[in-house]
Structure 1
Amino acid sequence: MTIRLYDSRQQTLVDFVPLVPGQVGLYVCGPTVQSSPHIGHLRSALVYDLWRRWFTYRGLDVTLVRNVTDIDDKILALAADTTEEWWARAYRYELEFTAGYQALGILPPTYEPRATASVSEMQQIITTLLEKGHAYVAPDGSGDVYFDTAAWPTYGALTNQSIDDMAPAADADPRGKRDSRDFALWKGHKADEPESASWASPWGEGRPGWHIECSAMSARYLGEAFDIHGGGLDLRFPHHENELAQSTAAGMGFASYWMHNGLVAVEGQKMSKSLGNSIFAADFLAQARPVVVRYFFSAAHYRSTIDYHEGALLEAEAALDRVETFLERAQRRLADTRFAGVGARVVPDEFGEAMDDDLNVPQAVAVLHDTVRAGNVALDDGDLDTAARSWQHVAAMVAVLGIDPTAPEWRAGDEADAHRALGTLVDVLLAERQQARADRDFSRADEIRGVLTGAGITIEDTPSGSHWSLEQ
């Protein structure tokens, strides 16, 4: 078994070889909690949840670190226009992100550090960079500290750019810079910023720059060398490029592999605030069952752009319903037989090969639906051996992908309550229909079936009794 992944730095597919056999250290750039999450945030978090689940299925012990950037220029600027403290605003939005992740069944990270809890580690890295001559304190007395891009010959290695082609770094006032492309490691305190957003340092009161935060947190929780660094494609430059430069300049091994997930478009357009087409996570989750939303985001290849269009969730719902109907149908038919119970949850070889190939979920999902079709044919033909194998494979595949529609976590809430209430009423009618058939009152039995069919309920008569499901 060899897992292959696309390394963004090498720009090619490579065999994944962990630094420590049997273990994976994965750092993912998490949210900057300045405002409510949009669907791009959900998609990115879900990508690395899928990677984590697949590594785990293949027997690897995964340590996943996903940070929270709880201080930056935008958080402070947005909070300044309100009576809310910046740290309270950041925490409020952090809870919104957590709620969105939980709704999609995204497993909690092993560690989820906040940037404000690692300031001393950031200062240590900055001190090392100053000592090595790769950073400098601004001469204007502002207290700013910058990374000296010209002093690091491999700057641009991640995105394969020449420094001469790079745009100026827009993360700080350029007045104290030697070069416009130098980026901020430490930002001196400004008079219009709250005192609570400031820490003591050898260079004066201030706060960390954005890029240094991830270098410090990844090293603190995974070590100075770890396996994989992931994040959205929009973070490759300048954020990840700057992380790589400052970390390696400080003497760290840093990430062996780089992963970047694709973004989300809306009706063919890039999703952005400036275009007014951003879709908030909470609004999106309200449009369909959360498991359907997870299926929608999972079904595309993680490196591709997802183009959301009207009706996309209905398509995802229909596809997932086929899986759900088969699982429920197989469970009913195989009950009270020697095939009862799902048995060993082992994915079919074709599914495993697709997932090993740079997490090719589209191909894996195709295997899932092929198996569902084969299982339904087997049930129709009374071939219980084949039906049971299909059931076991489907159960294993949806478990790995986190989209098992029959799992308890997806049955909770108001919808489950409504389903149970409907089930109680339908079961009463089915019992009456069964009695009518026993009494040979076929007219009444057909009448009841007609009422249920008219209400969109499908009846399936099996040796173990009559069962119902909502028409898809």
Structure 2
Amino acid sequence: MTIRIYNTLTGKKEPLKPIEPNHVKLYVCGITSYDYCHIGHARSSLAFDMIVKYLRYRDYKVTFVRNFTDIDDKIIKRAAEQNTTSSELANRFIDEFYIDMDKLGIDRPDVEPKATEHIPEMVAIISELIEKGMAYQSGNDVYYAVDSFPEYGKLSGRNLEDMQAGARISVNEMKTNPMDFVLWKGSKPGEPKWESPWGDGRPGWHIECSAMSRKYFGKTFDIHGGGKDLIFPHHENEIAQSEGANCCQFVNTWIHHGFVTIRDEKMSKSLNNFLTIRDLLEHYHPEILRFFVFSTQYRNPLDFSETAMQDATAGLERLYSCISNIDAITTNGTAETAPIASAKDHQKLESMKDRFQQAMDNDFNTAQAQSILFDAVKILNRISRELSSAPAVKDIALLRTSRATMKELGAIMGLLKEDAATFLSNQKQKMLSGLDIDEAAIQKYIEERRQARAEKNWSRSDEIRDELLAHNIELKDGADGTSWTVKRS
């Protein structure tokens, strides 16, 4: 089956057809390094980490480039506030970025260019645009003339005339057209600066990615990615610059992931709902954050809440519990008896990989891919529960093969990489931290309640539930037995 990807440029899913057969060239806009990374950055990094992992799983060669914007108005402002240089501040937060990404288990891209290391490439493109009459100097600044590019707005679907009608020319910019955007900014006293034909200054934000992608991939490449917030103006302006200078299509496929909201509100420092990655990882295992992010297809909005994270915790623990149960099965007394698993069970489990691939081939639908894993868990848990003291050889083989497949597929999303028993034990200890009850006592209560229910002693069963609730422990009865969790505040 061919991988189909939703292309923002065309508004539809299209088959992946790399320019160079079997070699995907992917460029993603990275962070502006002036602060700690938040959950929105996590979603972006995790989404493209997953995409790269899956493409490589499907035997594509992938060259992945993700840049750092290490010169920008925000960086200059923050550096001044902290009485340091822009370079020192930017590099410090690049180091902090790596700390967060390493904790999340995100693989490093093949190339990670910094904007400040590619000034000559930016100057070259700006010069080409000026020569073609598509850019002009105004004072010490250089602007791109949007009127010179008839297709301006084709990525975002915006109409240039409508945008112009609602815009005003800023007095201090001296633009020919209010929608023209800066390619080069003349330096102000105390700001970082580089030499150029138009005087000392620094590049505008948009020209950076056009220059870096051309250096590493040439004039046209396969996939450009980022968040939906970058569609306009950043990616729209990249297209105008690159296609204006190169006279050919810039990118074949544009991938954009959805926004992250906090309890249905846009994440914002002003709303005090701004969550950094390191804040989250103080409370949740990195794989729980991964599970949460991939429980929604990458293009859809992702709403963060404590309830959603608890659901992600329960989901991941269910996958690990299944693996732990299989790990615990010994081969002692294995017999050539009639297997428990039916032909239908075999077919369902043996098709797990194909069904997972079908979900992922459909625009990297990780939510559906997770459901394939849970389908397998239902069958595997039933077989594990029903095994006798002398399990059949065929059942053991099926369980272990399926476990290996689950771990292989989970790894594409960065999941199921831990030892299952250790992960579950650590999770329980974390949950019980600060409570006045331990796991042994909880299990004793659960066993007593099981006996009470077997004897139809419903009042004692209810008493046990209430006694545990007094310790902030909630019980949940399900097909896999009775489980417990810490009550949410």
TM-score by length of 2: 0.79
Q: Distance in 2 between matches of 1:160 and 1:207?
A: 30
Residue among 183, 195, 202 paired with 1:200: 195
Which residue pairs with 1:231 in the alignment?
Answer: 226
Q: CA deviation at 1:272?
A: 1.9
Partner amino acid, structure 2, of 1:241: E
**1:114 and 1:363 mapped to 2: Cα distance?**
36
Match of 2:162 in 1: 165
Does 2:149 correspond to 1:152?
Answer: yes
Cα drift, residue 392 of structure 1: 2.8
What do residues 372-420 of structure 1 show as CA deviations (whole Å, max 9, x unaligned)?
1111111223333432342132122212221114259x96xx959x89x
- Between the aligned partners of 1:170 and 1:95, the Cα distance in structure 2 is 40
Q: CA deviation at 1:75?
A: 0.8
Aligned equivalents of 1:130, 1:280: Cα separation in 2: 42
Q: Does 1:260 align with 2:262?
A: no
Counterparts of 1:43 and 1:236, CA distance in 2: 17
Q: Pick from 291, 314, 317: which aligns with 1:321?
A: 317
For 1:154 and 1:2, locate their aligned partners in 2 and report how far apart those are by CA, in whole Å: 30
CA RMSD of aligned residues (A): 3.1
- Whether 2:23 is the aligned partner of 1:27: answer no
**Number of residues of Structure 1 aligned to a counterpart in Structure 2:** 417
1:295 to 291, 294, 301: 291
The one-letter code matched in structure 2 to 1:381 is E
Query: Conserved in 1, the CA contact under 8 Å of 2:4 and 2:16?
Result: yes
Equivalence map 1:358-369=2 (5 Å): 358-369=363-374
**Residue 310 of structure 1: CA displacement?**
2.2
Moved over 3 A (4+): 167-174, 334-338
SS at match of 1:155: coil
1:351 aligned partner, one-letter code? F
Aligned to 2:241: 246
What is the distance in 2 between the residues matched to 1:171 and 1:114? Answer: 32
Q: Any stretches of 5+ residues in structure 2 without a counterpart? A: 336-349, 388-394, 431-438, 440-467, 474-482
Contact 1:8 1:258 in 2 (8 A): yes
Task: Give the secondary structure class of the aligned counterpart of 1:311.
Answer: helix
Note the C-alpha offset of 1:73.
0.8
Partner SS state of residue 173, structure 2: helix
Distance, in Å, in 2 between the alignment partners of 1:234 and 1:381 is 51
Shift of 1:44: 0.8
Q: Note the C-alpha offset of 1:165.
A: 1.8
Letter in 2 for 1:245: A
Amino acid at match of 1:32: T
Q: Which runs of 5+ in 1 are unaligned?
A: 339-344, 420-425, 427-453, 457-469
**Superposition pairs of residues 80-99 of structure 1, within 5 angstroms:** 80-99=80-99
2:267 is matched with: 271
Q: Alignment partner of 2:329: what SS?
A: helix
CA deviation vs aligned residue, 1:398-446 (integer Å, no higher than 9, x gap)? 12221114259x96xx959x89xxxxxx9xxxxxxxxxxxxxxxxxxxx
- Which moved further from structure 2: 161-170 or 144-153? 161-170
Instruction: State which drifts further: 270-279 or 224-233.
Output: 270-279
Does residue 397 of structure 2 align to residue 392 of structure 1? no
- Farther-moved stretch of structure 1 (121-130 vs 377-386): 377-386
Q: CA deviation at 1:171?
A: 12
Counterpart check, 1:212 vs 2:224: no
Q: Deviations over 1:298-337 (max 9, x none)?
A: 2111001111112222211111011111112212215677
Q: How many Å separate the matches in 2 of 1:169 and 1:206?
A: 26
**Partners of 2:86 and 2:142 in 1: CA distance:** 23
- 1:138-180 Cα distance to aligned partner (Å, 9 max, x none): 1xx3x10000001111111111211112267899975221011
Contact 1:172 1:183 in 2 (8 A): no
Tell me which amino acid in the other structure corresponds to 1:145: V
Distance 1:172 1:126 in 2: 22
| In 2, Cα distance between equivalents of 1:219 and 1:172 | 32
Are 2:431 and 1:402 aligned? no
SS at 1:24 equivalent: strand
Could you tell me whether the CA contact under 8 Å between 1:263 and 1:305 is conserved in 2? yes
Partners of 1:267 and 1:307 within 8 A in 2: yes
**TM-score, scaled to structure 1:** 0.82
Q: Using the aligned pairs only, state the percent identity.
A: 40
